[in-house]
Amino acid sequence: MWPFSQRSSHGFQLVSNTADPEANIEDDSSPAAQSPHDKDLDYPATHRPQSEPTCSITALFIPAALFAIVVAGYVGFRLGRGDFGLDAMCASYTTQFSTILKDVNVKYSYTDFNGSFMHETVFRREPSPEVDQAWEDLGVDSEPGIISYEDGLQAGLSSGHVQRNEKYGGGFVVNLEGMHHLHCLNLLRKSLYFNVDYYKELGENAFKNDERILKLHVTHCLDIIRQVLMCNVDTGVLGQVWYNQSHPKPFPDFNTQHKCKNFDDIRDWAVGRQMDKSTQNPPDFLAPPIPGHVYPAMP
């Protein structure tokens, strides 16, 4: 501890607990020991102003500041290289827990959006087998998979959710939410007024159902996408560009850059975990529901 001495004309001074109190008192017999100012104040011998400590606060601060700068530079260098796994930390912090976070190294990278208004990608074209295949390759029709009971509880599921029978390995039956969101977007595409007749004529998947169920399915998907977009609201900005060289006009620049997850790896995880569609599951494949955990009607 460094207690304060009594206040002097120089302010508070530090005195060591172990220092000899008399060591800081100069010899009164020496003419140099007293200045004219000292004589005017006429201090008692034991209360004269003491000399400044040899180790000043500034001398202590400078090495500490230099050390902090070196540490900050090192950490910044490592962060720039991604050595601390910030991508995984961000993915974990900004999403609900999921088994995929343990199985897939989620990464972020800059991606340029194709926001062209006039030039269509395959995903925007009129219905055809080629267009449908492009959407299916995104994993929009992926089947449910199985995750462990422990992972399911950690992800927010309860014992009342559908499970695989223990005799077949147990675990929860799940879909990856991102694949469901894309499934919903694909259904909205198929339901557009200029596409819907084509898919009604095919009569596959959702279009097997009557008009009432189809409408409920489409509006369910619409509202799911609304909630996803609001939950993950994009804080980027859209600039504007000029077009029409003879009479320039402004138009939003939708070709923006974004920082995106490694979608292909995530899609592959979901597709790879699908239950085998080519085989018929036994009648007791699913564990029986727990009493009190059955809804009276479809939620």
pLDDT tens track, the chain, 299 positions: 444 444 444 443 334 444 444 444 444 444 444 444 444 445 444 444 555 555 566 667 787 888 888 877 765 665 555 555 888 889 888 888 999 999 999 999 999 999 999 999 999 999 999 999 999 999 999 999 999 999 999 999 999 999 999 999 999 999 999 999 999 999 999 999 999 999 999 999 999 999 999 999 999 999 999 999 999 999 999 999 999 999 999 999 999 999 999 999 999 999 999 998 778 899 999 999 999 999 999 99
Domain-located, residue 4: no
Q: How many domains does the chain have?
A: 1
Sign of the CA dihedral 107, 90, 138, 230? negative
Residue range(s) defining the domain that contains residue 103: 95-236+253-272
Element (H, E) at 264: helix 263-272
Q: Are 242 and 249 in contact (CB under 8 A)?
A: yes
Can you give the pLDDT at residue 94?
87
Radius of gyration of the chain (CA): 36
Asked whether the whole model's pTM tops 0.75, one would answer: no
Measured between its terminal Cα atoms, the distance across the chain in Å is 68
Of 100, 161, 177, the closest CA to residue 286 belongs to 161
Residue 223, CB-side half-sphere exposure with 13 Å CA sphere: 5
| Rounded Cα distance, 198 and 126, in Å | 9
Pairing state of beta strands 257-261 and 249-252? unpaired
**Within a domain: 241:** no
pLDDT at residue 79, as a whole number: 56
Nearest to 171 by CA among 144, 145, 147: 147
* 41 located within any domain: no
Distance of alpha carbon 47 from alpha carbon 264, whole angstroms: 79
Distance CA 179, CA 173 (A): 15
- Identify whether 124 is part of a domain: yes
Write down the pLDDT at residue 189.
99
Nearest to 153, CA basis, from 163, 143, 145? 163
CB atoms within 10 A of CB 106: 20
Asked, for residue 178, whether it belongs to a domain, the answer is yes
What secondary structure letter does DSSP report for 25?
Answer: S
Residue 70, in any domain of the structure: no
103 occurs within a structural domain: yes
Structure confidence at residue 65 (pLDDT): 81
- What's the pLDDT at 77? 61
Which one-letter amino acid corresponds to residue 162? V
Say if 11 falls within a structural domain. no
Reduced to 3 states (helix: H, G, I; strand: E, B; else coil), residue 89 is helix
Rounded CA separation 134/124 (Å): 10
Q: What is the pLDDT of residue 78?
A: 55
